[in-house]
Amino acid sequence: MRKALLGIVSKSTSPLKTMMIVALAMTFVFGDVASSLAARQAAIVVDAKTGKVLYSADANGRRYPASLTKMMTLYLTFEAMAKGKISRNTPVVFSAKASAEAPTKLGVKPGGSVTVETAILSIVTKSANDSATALGEMLGGNETTFARMMTAKARALGMNGTVFRNANGLPDPGQFTTARDMATLGIALREHFPQYYGYFSQRSFLYGRQRINGHNRLLGRIKGVDGIKTGYTRASGFNLVSSVSDGNRRIVGVVMGGTSGGSRDNQMANLINTYLPRASTRGGGDLVAKAGGNNPITALAKVLLPKHDAPTPDDRPVIAQDDAIVAEDATVAEDDTAQAEEAAPVVKTRKVKTVIVSAPQVATAQVVAAYAEPTPAAVDPVNTASVPSGWAIQVASSPKQSEAQAFLDKTTKQAPKVLADASGFTVAFDKDGVTYYRARFGGFGSKTAAWKACTALKKKNIECYAVQQ
């Protein structure tokens, strides 16, 4: 480019003409850069009843899935539940590898366990990397085998542009997908497992004495949004798959490579508002795409989704869990957290009393009975629990959990940009025989990030201090 400019701008060229030529050249240079950045983003909106693609932008381009990977982890978990191989109350044991995963995470120590349901809830709300790995190891014997199972299932569903390397979506250069494939998976989850799909609409859940809030900001903000999953790493940008139902219309939207959580959410909101009214009120069943009459449509993968018993390799060997701690590079990215500067230490877990997890309304009693294994107790104990790892900020405490939660909601509305990528939760503590509840926001990757958030909140007259958990 420099030589080209020197050739164009000769000594005989007038100063005014020189400026015009240089300006034009810079337009081409920066235009190429802008095109490159734009090419990183991809999106698709699909009519979930007919399979018609309502909107598409580089939908077949390769992208890093980040935590959207966990959608397939949950698909295989739901499949195992539907087949009676596991139940909601089956314990999920955390290996040293699972416990060592980078945040966000539950922080369960090696050898500790939670129920399948708790693992599911921690994934759909907190996007817990350790829970995803633990589920993968339980279902596949080890995570490598489970990743092969994930990829095989992707092929069975018609996701031909996807390869999985792990259960949680932490950075791996060999793990990739497309916006189109993620839309296929989003539709498959709803079509094949309606009895479990309600988990994706869960906005918070009770873990021990904490209420952990989710990352999906469109739930409750956009009418009809009922899931599905967010994702973020530095390499992937901000990803989101959303399912929307309004009356007789149903769509699934995918946005990948957003520059921030807020811009990604706004882009999805615009897509929903634009294309939901254009979705068909007819159709249904397991058809992802079809063309009819004299109006052929652009179809999603042009395949009929298989039933939920599509073959998955059942070659899971009985392999001793690998206790070697595989250190993920948390400086590359903290999933679903824009403040990914340094890894938070794994905190020690503590025993807690039996806890009733607030379960979503995802199935009738008959369906639950059909899939559940016999259990001696109506309530399953959570064997280990901990506060969320890393840095958090505290904005209030109250003797009533409802007041603490209300303060979290109020603070989120007062400072939506500051807390766009934070996760609110409450933590109980006792003082002089009285139980109080701290209102905190977690998900900050470093002390600096937490302090910065507090400084911004204080400018809005919101008291705040940073704390490492």
Is 398 known to be catalytic? no
Whether 67 is a known active-site residue: answer yes
Tell me how far apart the alpha carbons of residues 303 and 367 are, in angstroms, rounded to a whole number. Answer: 29
Please tell me which residue in 56, 67, 95, 236 is annotated as part of the active site.
67
> Which residues are CB-neighbours of 116 under 8 A, at least 6 positions away?
77, 81, 86, 87, 88, 89, 90, 91, 92, 135
Query: Is 49 an annotated catalytic residue?
Result: no
Three-state SS string across the chain, please? CHHHHHHHCCCCCCHHHHHHHHHHHHHHHHHHHHHHHHHHCEEEEEECCCCEEEEEECCCCCECCHHHHHHHHHHHHHHHHHCCCCCCCCEEECCHHHHCCCCCCCCCCCCCEEEHHHHHHHHHHCCCHHHHHHHHHHHHCCHHHHHHHHHHHHHHCCCCCCECCCCCCCCCCCCEECHHHHHHHHHHHHHHCCCCHHHHHCCEEEECCEEEECCCCCCCCCCCEEEEEEEEECCCEEEEEEEEEECCEEEEEEEEEECCHHHHHHHHHHHHHHHHHHCCCCCCCCECCCCECCECCCECCCCECCCCCCCCCCCCCCCCCCCCCCCCCCCCCECCECCCCCCCCCCCCECCCCCCCCCCCCCCHHHHHHHCCCCCCCCCCCCCECCCCCEEEEEEEECCHHHHHHHHHHHHHHCCCCCCCCEEEEEEEEECCEEEEEEEEEEECCHHHHHHHHHHHHCCCCCCEEEEC
- Spot the catalytic one: 49, 52, 56, 70: 70
Q: Count the neighbouring beta carbons within 10 Å of the beta carbon of residue 144.
A: 15
**Closest by CA position to 446, among listed 344, 370, 355:** 344
Select which of 99, 127, 236, 446 is catalytic: 127
How far is it, in rounded angstroms, from Cα 130 to Cα 51? Answer: 34
Quickly count: other Cβ atoms within 10 Å of residue 299's Cβ: 17
Active site residues per annotation: 67, 70, 127
